[in-house]
Amino acid sequence: MRILLIGGSGFLSGTVARSALAAGHDVWAVTRGQRALPAGVHGLIADRHDSAALSRVVRAVGIAFDLAVDCIGYKVEDMRQDIALLPGLARHFVFISTDFVFDPRHRLFPQTVEHRAFLQDDSYGAHKRRCEEALLAADCGALTWTILRPCHIYGPGSLLGCLPRHGRDPELLARLRRGESLQLVGGGHYLQQPVFAADLARLVLACPAAAHAHGRIFHTAGSDIVESVRYYEIIADLLGVPLRVEELPVDAYRAAHPEHASFLCHRIYDMRPLADAGLPVPGTRLVDGLREHVRSLTSDR
């Protein structure tokens, strides 16, 4: 396939790029040129906030893409830009949304795609939902599309940590080695299904060929349902150190940090819709994925 990535030097976009190259695909990536791209990716330099420049550099490639992936779209203006640019330039479009689109006060167990209790505020999840709505309402002509809603994404290329105070914490491994207590809201007893980035990348690449995935939204989660504290326990075990936890009271933390409400709930999903649509269900065991992730952060020591 010929693949266009909007974003390509970040964590997920870089993982998609490397997975695509390993599978023999040709990859172009639009970035601002501030970070290196994976070797083998054709770089296109433009700021996506300059729609004219973005359109100019993409059209100058002079080809039709089999797949376009927006890994960084966040505001509805980004989606409107995709809708204006991609019809006629790409055959299929994958938009990376988030499981934070839902109001955490009204979640189901497991959460279903059909449930419509969405956030309506100024949060990250609410903005992603507005992007989804813009795509759902658009006339994209022959361009087909799929929306993926990953939960916590982990793997090489990212920092570790899945809860506030120690989410994407650059000092996490050092804290554990020093024997410090991790401050986990509610003791880390929220259920979730972290998804390994390479599994998510394989799923993205499979969407164009899966006709039953076109025009649909899918939750995208890993195979293991665990308490968040278990995520940290695995990391500590891999380091060969004990995990010490200081429990932060939920109500007090939520009142002080309402912006973190979407982390403070159970986030579990049924992956059968992916399988039914002929898409690869993420299957990397959490312990195996975290082992690879930890190794990537410690290999230079």
Q: How do residues 20-46 score in pLDDT, each as one tens digit?
A: 999 999 999 999 988 899 999 999 999
Distances 163 to 25, 39, 224, 227 between C-alpha atoms, Å: 35, 33, 17, 11
Residues paired with 248 in a beta bridge: 185
* Cβ pair 32, 38 in contact under 8 A: no
CA distance 102 to 125: 7
Is 26 strand, coil or helix? Answer: strand
Residue 9: the pLDDT is: 82
CA distance 184 to 163: 7
CA distance 100 to 92: 24
CA distance 220 to 282: 8
Handedness of CA 164, 168, 171, 175 (dihedral sign): positive
* Helix or strand run (H / E) with residue 245: strand 245-248
Residue 107: the pLDDT is: 95
Residue numbers in the chain where pLDDT is lower than 50:
301
Residue 294: the pLDDT is: 98
* Cβ pair 193, 222 in contact under 8 A: yes
Residue 300: the pLDDT is: 59
CA distance 292 to 175: 19
Number of C-beta neighbours around residue 118 at 10 A: 16
